[in-house]
Amino acid sequence: MLYLSEIQRSKVVDMAGTEIGRLTDVAVVPKEQFPAVQWAIVSSKDGERIVRWADLERNDSQYRLRESAVPPAPGELPPEALRLGRDLLDKQIVDTHGAKVVRVNDLQLDDKGGQLRLVGADVGLRGLLRRVGGEGAAEKMAGVIGRKLPRGIIPWHLVEPLEATQQNVRLTLPHAKLALLHPADIADIVEEMTTDERRAVFDQLDVETAADTLEEIEPEMQAAIVGDLDEERAADILEEMDPDEAVDLLQDLPEQKRDELVELMEEEEGSDVEELLAYPEDSAGGIMTTDFLAFARDLTAGQAIERLRELKPDPALVYYLYVVDSEGRLEGNVSLRDLVVAAPETPLTTIMNTNVFKVDAATNKEDVASLIAKYDLLALPVVDARRRLIGSVTVDDVVDLMLPRGWKKRSGRSSAR
Amino acid sequence: MTAAPPSRRPRRLPLRRFQLPAMLLVLGPGLVSGFADNDAAGITTYSLAGAQYGYGFMWALLLTMVALLFTQEVGARLGLATGEGLSGVIRERFGVRWTALAVLVTLVANLGTTIAEFAGIAASLELLFRVPPQISSILAGMFVVIVLARGSFGKVQYAFLVIGAAVSAAYAISAILAEPDWGHATIALVKPELSPTAAYLITLVGVVGTTITPWGQAFIQSYVADKGLGPRDLAGARVDVTLGSLVTNIVAGFIVVACAATIWTHGGQIIDAADAARALGPLAGGGATIIFSVGLLAASLLGLGVVPLSSAYFACEAFGWERGLHWRWSQAPVFYGLLAFFVAGGALFVVIPGLPLIQVMFLSAVLDGLLLPIILTFVMLLAGDRKVLGDLVSGRVLLAIGWTTTVLVSVMSVAFVIVQVFGLGS
C-alpha cells in the first residue's frame, strides 16, 4: 500500500534523468468505486505543470517520464477532476459507514501494474504521525508496551467528499451516498458542515428526505438552514414536514421571512401551520400536530375502515383514532384493534372508549409530557374551550423533553447495530 | 390527511409567541467573550497596571480596543464563511505540521489561563471565607466537572455574566467616586506615558495578552460557526464584536482608573488580592473586599467554564477527533482526556503551597501576550485568503490594521524576550 504523503514531493525526471520538478499532487475523476489516478501535478519554480499519470514510471523513489510521453504543460484539469492533495487532504469528509464527519490525514493508494487507484482515506492516528514524520518512532514505542498502532482507514467507496475548491469557485459534489443514510444520521453530519455545504446537501436531497433530516437538526441551526435555502425550495420542504415541527422552525425565523414562506406553502399545509403558529411555543398547542384522524360518531366500524382505506394515512397516525360529533367535539377514541375485530355494522359509539385523557391547548408542554409518560399513552388529544378536537400531541413530540440533554446525539449508529 | 371534522378552526390565543428580533440571534458571542475577557487574569493585570503606573497604560487600552475589535471581527468572518473553528481552518489551509504548532501554542496559553482562573477562585475564596487555596482549588475543580457533566453551564454562565456586569459597574462607580484626575486620564489615552523599564514592558505584554487572547480568538469563531450563522449575518456579528470589544476595554479602563486613583496616588502597591480590592473602596468602603472577591470569583468561574472546553475543542477539531459533551467517555477519549488534564492540572497547580496568586494570574496574561503573535499571524494569513473566506475576505484597510497589530504585538514580544534574556533595562 502506498500513501499520498509518501509520493508527494518525489522527484520527477525526464528521459535524460534531469529533474523537471517535484510531484506535488495527483488528480482523479471520482466516478468509479476506486477511481484511478489520471494526472500528476509537477511543480517547479516555473509553476505547476500537468502530466498524464500513464506517462510516468516509477523508478526507485522518483518518477520518470516515458519516451512516448506528451511533454508536461501548464494547463487546467477538467472541472470534474479532484486533486487529492488540494481538495481532500486535511479536509473533512463523510464516513458514510460510521455516519460521521471526519478529517482526512492521508490518502491510501493502491498500485497495480502501473495503475494507481485511490482506495481509502486514512483518518487515524497513523496517518497523522506519518504526515509529521513520526510514524516509525511511534510504532516502535507502541511495540515496547506490546501494542500496535491502530489503523483508521475508510475504504473509498464509503467516503463522501464534502466539497472541492476550484480557484475561487467552490465546486459542489453530488451527495448520492449521503442521501442513502437515515435522516437522523444525515442531520448529525449536516450539523458539522459549513453553510455552503449544508445548502448544497439540502438542494440535492429529495424533498421528503430533506424534510425528515431538517426535523432532526438542532433547532438553532434549522432556522439558519431554511433561511439560506431558495424560498420555493424551503416552502416545499416545510410542507413535507410534520406541521408541528414546521411551526417550531418557523417560530425561529424573522417575522417577515416566516410570512413569506407560509404564503408560498400549499393551501392545506400553509393553513395548518398558520393555525399552529397562534399557540405559545411551550404549550400543548405549540407542540401538537393537526395531522390526526377523527371519525364522525355516526359511522360504523366497517365505514370507518373503509374511510381508512381511502385516506391511506401515515402509519404513525392510525394508532390514535378519534371519534367526534357533528360539531367536532371529542367524544372518544377507538383503537385499530377494536375497529378490526368488531363486526362491520357495529356503530363506533359502542366500541369507542369515552374515558379519554385530553388537554387544553394552553397546557404546559412539560405537563403534557408527564401525562403521556404516566399513563403510557401514544398520543394525547388537544381540545379547545368548547371541547372541540383541534390537534394531537404524539409521544414522539414529547420524548425529547423527557431525555436528558444531549442523549439523542449520543446514540451513534454503532449502538443501533 | 386529516379526516376533517366539521369546523376545526381553533380559538386564536391572544398571545403571540415571544419573538427574538433577528439581530438578537446574532448578538451574544462578542458580548460573552467581551465579559469573559475580563477574567481573573484580566482583572488582576489591569489592577496591577493601574496601581503601579497610574494612567501609564491608558494609551495601550485604547490601542488594544481597536486591535481587539479587528481581530474579533476577523474571527467572526472566519466562522461565518467556513462554519468551522479556527484550528479546523488552519488545518485545511496550512496542513498538519503548522496545525500542530498552532494547537501546541494554544494549549500552552490556555493551560496558563486555566491556572489563572483557579488562582482567581483561590484568591477570592481566601478573602471571603479564609478558605486555603489547597481546598478551594480542589472544590472549584469538582464544581466545574459537575457543572459541565450536567450540561448546565449554558444556564449557569448567565449568572456569572450578570455578576461580571455588576462588578464592572462597581468599578466604574468606584472610579468616579475616587475623583481621579480625569484630565490626566484622558490625555494619557492619546499621549503614551512610557517608562523604559523591563517591568513596564512585562506589564504591557500582560495588558495586551489579557485583552486579545488566543482562546478569545478561537472562541468567537467557534461560537459563530456552531450557531450555524452564515455570511449574511456579517452585519449583526459586527455589531456584536464591536459592543464586546467596547465593553471589555471600557471596563478595563475603569479598573485602571479606579486603581490609579486609589492605590497609585497614595504610593501603594498590590501584593495580594486584598490590596487589589482597595480600588473599590470609594464605592463600598469596608465592603470593597466582598464586592471584589465576588466579582473575581464570578469572572474566574466564567473563564473556567469556557477555557478548558474551548481548548479541548480546538485540539480535537484540528485532528478530526470526536468532540463535544454529548459523547460518552469511550467515544471521545482525547476530548475528555484534555478536559480532565486542564481541570486537574489547573487545580493541582494552585495546590502548591505559598503560591503568589496575584503573580500567577498576571504571568498567565504575560504568557498569553507572548504567544499571541503566533496565533494572530495564522488569523491574519487566513483573513486575506480569498480561497478560505470567499466574498468575506477582509478588505485592504482591515488587513493593514490587522497586520500592523500583528507586527506591533510581535515586536513587543520579541523585545520582551530580548530584555529578559539579556537582562536589559532592569
Question: Tell me, what CATH number does B94's domain have?
Answer: 1.20.1740.10
Which one-letter amino acid corresponds to residue B300? S
Q: What DSSP character marks residue A71?
A: P
Amino acid at A334: V
Q: What is the pLDDT of residue B18?
A: 34
Give A175's DSSP letter: -
CA neighbor of A406 nearest in space, from A188, A238, A227, A103 = A188
Q: Would you say residue B235 lies in a domain?
A: yes
Residue B79 has pLDDT above 60, yes or no: yes
Residue B60 pLDDT more than 70? yes
Judged by CB atoms closer than 8 Å, whether chains meet at A254 and B17 is answered as no
- Distance between CA atoms of A328 and B192, rounded to whole angstroms? 79
Confidence label for A406 from pLDDT (cuts 50, 70 and 90): low
Looking at beta carbons, which residues of chain B come within 8 Å of A102? 320
**pLDDT confidence bin for A163, thresholds 50/70/90:** low
- For residue A23, give the H/E element and its range: strand A19-28
Residues from chain B contacting residue A416 (CB–CB below 8 Å): none
- Measured at the alpha carbon of residue B375, what is the angle toward residues B362 and A84, in degrees to the nearest 5? 155
The structural domain count of chain B equals 1
* A25-47 per-position pLDDT tens digit: 898 887 778 888 888 888 888 88
Split at pLDDT 50, 70, 90, the class of B9 is very low
Residue B12 inside a domain? The answer is no
- Say whether pLDDT at B2 is over 70: no
How many C-beta atoms surround the C-beta of residue A225 within 10 A?
A: 25
Q: What is the pLDDT of residues B233-248, one digit of tens each?
A: 888 888 888 888 888 8
Q: Which of B10, B228, B387 sits opposite A390 (nearest CB)?
A: B10
Examine residue B224 and state whether it is found in any structural domain, yes or no.
yes
Q: Can you give the pLDDT at residue B155?
A: 67
**pLDDT at residue number B23:** 39
More confident residue, A67 or B20: A67
The contacts of residue A182 (CB under 8 Å, 6+ apart) are A99, A413
Contacts of A313 in chain B (CB under 8 A): 1
The answer to whether A313 faces chain B, any CB pair under 8 Å, is yes
| Mean pLDDT to the nearest integer, B391-401 | 84
B77: in domain? yes
pLDDT at A404: 60
Of A280-284, B116-120, B139-143, which gets the smallest average pLDDT?
A280-284
> How far apart are the C-alpha atoms of B137 and B193, rounded to whole Å?
38
pLDDT score of A165: 47
Tens digit of pLDDT for each residue in B213-266?
Answer: 888 888 888 888 877 777 778 888 888 888 888 888 888 888 888 888 888 877
Top pLDDT among A192 and A63 is at A63
B2–A275: do the CB atoms touch at under 8 Å?
A: no
Interval A45-61 mean pLDDT: 84
Residues A286-303, buried b or exposed e (16+ Cβ, 10 A)?
Answer: bbbbbbbbbbbbebbbeb
Q: What is the per-residue pLDDT for A173?
A: 54
Which residues from A are below 8 Å from B237, CB to CB? none
Tell me the average pLDDT of chain A.
82
ipTM of the complex: 0.71
- Pick A406's closest partner by Cβ from B82, B95, B326: B326
Local confidence band at A409 (pLDDT 50, 70, 90 cut-offs): low
Tell me the average pLDDT across A179-200. 80
Does residue B7 belong to any structural domain of this protein? no
H or E element, residue A159: strand A159-161
Mean pLDDT of A118-122: 89
More confident position, B37 or B144: B144
| pLDDT reported for residue B337 | 92
Asked if B399 contacts B380 with a C-beta cutoff of 8 angstroms, the reply is yes
Put simply, the answer to whether B17 touches A286 (Cβ < 8 Å) is yes
Let me know: does B352 contact B360? Beta carbons within 8 Å: no
Give the DSSP H/E element, type plus range, for residue B348: helix B333-351
Q: Is B22 on the interface with A (CB under 8 A)?
A: yes
Which B-chain residues 275-334 have CB contacts (< 8 A) with chain A?
Answer: 319-320, 322, 324-328, 331
Q: pLDDT confidence of A174, banded at 50, 70, 90?
A: low
Of B9, B16, B320, the CB nearest to A103: B320
How many Å apart are CA A390 and CA A279, to the nearest integer?
A: 12
Going by C-alpha positions, the residue among B164, B306, B127 that lies closest to residue B136 is: B127
Residue whose cell numbers read 371534522: B5
Residue B232 placed within a domain: yes
DSSP B123-136: HHHHHHH---HHHH
pLDDT at A188 over 60: yes
- Taking residues B333-362, what's their average pLDDT? 89
Residue B382 has pLDDT above 70, yes or no: yes
Q: Could you tell me if residue B393 is inside a domain?
A: yes
Quick one: pLDDT band at residue A169, thresholds 50, 70, 90? Answer: very low
pLDDT at B416: 87
Nearest CA in chain B to A292: B2
B232 contact residues in A (CB cutoff 8 A)? 227-228
Question: Which of residues B296 and A72 earns the better pLDDT score?
Answer: B296
In chain A, residues with a C-beta closer than 8 Å to the C-beta of B10 are 275, 278-279, 285, 361, 384, 390-391
Is B21 at the interface with chain A, CB within 8 A?
yes
Rounded CA-CA distance B48/B279 in Å is: 11
Chain A neighbours among B 48-67 (CB < 8 Å)? none
Sheet order of strands, A389-394 included: A359-360, A379-383, A389-394
For residue A194, pLDDT over 50 is answered with yes
Q: Could you tell me the residue range of the domain that residue B276 belongs to?
A: 20-422
Percent residues over pLDDT 70 in chain B = 91
d(CA B246, CA B66): 9
Q: Tell me what the mean pLDDT of segment A239-268 comes to.
A: 83
Q: Report yes or no: B19 at the A interface, CB cutoff 8 Å.
A: yes
Sequence letter at residue B295: G
**pLDDT reported for residue B19:** 35
CA distance B94 to chain A (A): 9
Evaluate whether B71 touches B402 at the Cβ level (below 8 Å).
Answer: yes
Interchain pair A275, B9: CB under 8 A: yes
The predicted model gives A133-155 an average pLDDT of 79
Per-window interface: A 364-393 vs B, CB < 8 A: 384-385, 388-391
- B6 part of a folded domain: no
Q: Do A195 and B386 touch (CB under 8 A)?
A: no
A326 touches chain B (CB under 8 A): yes
